Structure 1
Amino acid sequence: MEERKLYPIKFCTLQDDYSWGSEEFKLADLGYRDSLVREGWLAGNSLGELMDTYMDRISGDNSYEYYGRQFPTCVRLLKVRGKMPLRVHPDDDTAGQRYDFLGKDKLWYVLRTGKDARVGIGMKQSTDAETFFKACLDASVDGLLNIVAPHAGQSLRIRPGTVHYAEGDIDILEIAQSSPMDFCLCPWGRPMEDGEFDPSLTLADALDFIDYRRFSYTPPEGDTLADCEAFTITRMKLDSPVKCNNSGYGSFILYSCIKGAASLQLDILGQTAAFPVREGETMLVPAECEDFVIVPTEKDTVLLETTSDRIQPDSYTGDRSGSSTE
């Protein structure tokens, strides 16, 4: 019996509300948050179930070889209407050795800003663990932080070890590694809210992997917003159809619609099928969907394209070489 062909997938949104605002999981395979397929013959299946069943057909050869059945990327919409707790996350080595999880590298893409919007990211000046620890305890730590006045369309790469928070009125799309490794450093005098952080991941546990050096922000060049081991994120400004071939990536592709709307069109059993993605939605294109066309259906459409072509090091040589991307 011929296998049914996979198709571009959208997921149901999972929302958590907090005193500072809300977070909406657009795509997640975290165990405690696992997105459900919204449409098509896969509707009702979780992303984790898709990975258990279809494995590299979903994530791609390279991604599956590295991450196994863990889908490697998580997408969240942060709607900040107050002051987020200060947080940090470790790198893969620290998270794996101590907690048997992935670390977290991530990108914040600013969608909208309103009154008093600002982002604290990294240190204003180099400091040390003792000074930082005391400032977290008395909630004066924002005086040590580099403060950014954000604007719509701005992207901020947040590397492991970089402390960060957002406050005021701001909407942020977060694209990150799939990991629960968020350490709460300072809740600004408020009690820690249920479900937001693992209470076992404490300030004291994070002190040895925080980056205390002065933070230096380098804006991305062009539309490549991030290009690191965990992911590559590219901004696509669409004014005409774009032909895409996924065979060179060895990876799934995510499309997050920032503005406008588009239709992903591909051949399924000899018929052209169209899959719409609208502003605020994220679509997963499985790795086996190799050839498709993206057609903008509204003026000035903008998508963020995310791939993860991470290569498993050769066990003998440590070589990380792999297939080239197009």
Structure 2
Amino acid sequence: MNTIIYPLQFEPILKERIWGGEKLKTLLNKPIVSPITGESWELSTVEGDVSVVINGYLKGKSLTELIEDAPNEILGTAVYARFGKQFPLLFKYLDAREDLSIQVHPNDKLAKERHNSFGKTEMWYVMQADTDARIIVGFKEDSSKEEYLENLNNKTLVSILDDVKAKAGDVFFLETGTVHAIGAGLVVAEIQQTSDITYRLYDFDRTDAEGNKRELHVDLALDAINYSKVHTYKNYEKVENKSNVIVDCPYFTTNIIPLDGEVDFSKSGETFTVYMCTEGGFKIEIEGETYSYIKGDTILIPAAVKTFTVKGTASILEVFIS
């Protein structure tokens, strides 16, 4: 394959969810057809849900094909050395018309042993929040397996969990083991390790259209939960036309770029970069070519693209592996 010299966009993988709505269409321009669309998987190599390119001469190629053919050019030299031909992150937009289930994700060790998967460290960037929207993140105070099980069995689990109001621009970083739930009335950008392993603890006794409750994973979750109080809210700067660090962890680095004008970027070739446009619109210029993006677009800039210019008025999440 020739060196890939342009930003790649992918067909969104749309997911119906019992808690989903229609904001992915009205706010983020996704081509949803169901009124209960909860997720748009923007960039994925999860088995059965692999992203496919929709622009340029690589249109129709899957992300796994691109990595197989040109791992250093797509992933970057350092990422390839660390992860092999695995794309280590998963990017989504979520629309919670109703509360999501209360859930937890296992760490790398448990996920590898049980599911031959990565764990699922993740972060949420709140793009839109209805009045009084909130999230659940961890326990109010240090807890224990015994206290947790007692409240779970009594259907009072919510009473010992931390309930936090959320507004647009808020960021929450959730390490594995953190009990959590996105609340009704939120649209979020989610950045996470490549994993689809979720242990569902409680689902508010909801039933689907056939009257069935969703499966719970109470036993699996017991050893995955962190019963200590955690601090998930991230403060960050928003200096214009600069990459401001929000989250810097072993699995990914996420910056925010409040763009108003023009910024030149120079990359090392060690890692890919992903841009998620959370507000406004912008253009990327590479070797005389111009590519345009709007709110809701997610763009993979291959590691082989080392210099480019970004211009416009937008809020952009910038993600890479350091």
2:221 counterpart residue number: 206
Q: Does 1:280 align with 2:296?
A: yes
How far apart are residue 122 of structure 1 and its match?
Answer: 0.5
What's the CA shift string for 1:13-43, capped at 9, x where partnerless? 1111122111111111111211111111111
Relative distance call for 1:219 and 1:3 in structure 2 (3 A) is closer
Aligned counterparts, 1:113-262, within 5 A:
113-191=129-207, 202-222=217-237, 223-247=244-268, 250-262=270-282
How far apart in 2 are the matches of 1:193 and 1:161? 31
TM-score, scaled to structure 1: 0.86
How far apart in 2 are the matches of 1:154 and 1:190? 28
How far apart are residue 252 of structure 1 and its match?
Answer: 0.2
What SS does the corresponding residue of 1:8 show, helix, strand or coil? coil
Relative distance call for 1:193 and 1:302 in structure 2 (3 A) is farther
How far apart in 1 are the matches of 2:104 and 2:276? 24
> Residues 132 and 166 of structure 2 are in contact (CA less than 8 Å); yes or no, is this contact kept in structure 1?
no
| Letter aligned with residue 131 of structure 1 | E
| Letter aligned with residue 246 of structure 2 | L
What SS does the corresponding residue of 2:55 show, helix, strand or coil? coil
Q: Which runs of 5+ in 2 are unaligned?
A: 21-37, 238-243
How far apart are residue 141 of structure 1 and its match?
Answer: 1.2
Q: Which runs of 5+ in 1 are unaligned?
A: 310-326
How far apart in 1 are the matches of 2:308 and 2:209? 43
> Residues 254 and 285 of structure 1 are in contact (CA less than 8 Å); yes or no, is this contact kept in structure 2?
yes
Larger mean Cα displacement after TM superposition, 214-223 or 79-88:
214-223
TM-score, scaled to structure 2: 0.87
Identity of aligned residues (%): 28
> Residues 13 and 41 of structure 2 are in contact (CA less than 8 Å); yes or no, is this contact kept in structure 1?
yes
Q: How many residues align?
A: 296
How far apart in 2 are the matches of 1:33 and 1:87? 22
How far apart are residue 278 of structure 1 and its match?
Answer: 1.2
> Residues 3 and 73 of structure 2 are in contact (CA less than 8 Å); yes or no, is this contact kept in structure 1?
no
What SS does the corresponding residue of 1:65 show, helix, strand or coil? helix
What SS does the corresponding residue of 2:50 show, helix, strand or coil? coil
1:8 counterpart residue number: 7
How far apart in 2 are the matches of 1:5 and 1:122? 42
How far apart are residue 142 of structure 1 and its match?
Answer: 1.1
| Letter aligned with residue 318 of structure 2 | E
How far apart are residue 135 of structure 1 and its match?
Answer: 2.7
| Letter aligned with residue 56 of structure 1 | N
